[in-house]
Amino acid sequence: MTKAQIVNFMGAPGVGKTVLAKKLSAQQPEYRFFEREVLLDILFEQERDTPRYNALAGYITKFNFDIATECAKQGISVVVEAPMKPAIQGKPASFIDAALAAAAKDGFGVSLIYCVAPAETVLAYLKQRGAPRDEPKYDQINTETGWPWFLKTFIDVPGPIQYEHLRVDTTRPVDENLGRIVEYLHRQNT
């Protein structure tokens, strides 16, 4: 018998976490995708990286992880996605730590998928997405919210070195990545 899992896709905004999460959920229906972006869009529409957004975004991510944890306790596998800025910067991430502690106690699994791509590819993905919320990130000069900040915060980082994870290069074909992810999840679940 397989145990329930929380599958967390993490990485830079625009790297392709949501694409892979949706495809995994569609291909493997036992994994339900809780799309954090839907909640963020309802609350903030295109207003991102503002003090109000920054004050609430962490709570929404925590809410998503709390629901995923409760579902996993009930035997329901869930897919979530979030940049997980502390984890990809090589630091502890409280949401992941809480999920891992609950998993150890309640007998479900937590699988981490770290999505990466070269900086120029992520910039192209962001521009292709065309979301107004991403436009400040294109600014090559602004060190507070522009491209230099984005690189330092999300791209030029060590990754989740303190957690076991699968590193996925999103420049590879989606089906190839999904195959690797499904294999990884099956290994994690046995």
* Structural domain for 110, as ranges: 5-188
pTM of the model: 0.92
pLDDT digits (tens, 9 = 90+) for 84-119: 999 999 999 999 999 999 999 999 999 999 999 999
Averaged pLDDT score across all residues of the chain: 91
Return d(Cα 141, Cα 139) in angstroms, integer: 6
State how many domains the chain has.
1
Pairing of strands 5-11, 109-116: parallel
- CATH of residue 175: 3.40.50.300
Return d(Cα 92, Cα 128) in angstroms, integer: 32
- In this predicted structure, the answer to whether residue 190 has a pLDDT above a threshold of 90 is no
Structure tokens at 14: 């625009």
- In this predicted structure, the answer to whether residue 1 has a pLDDT above a threshold of 70 is no
Structure tokens at 128: 């292709």
User: What pLDDT does 75 receive?
Assistant: 96
Average confidence (pLDDT) over 67-78:
96
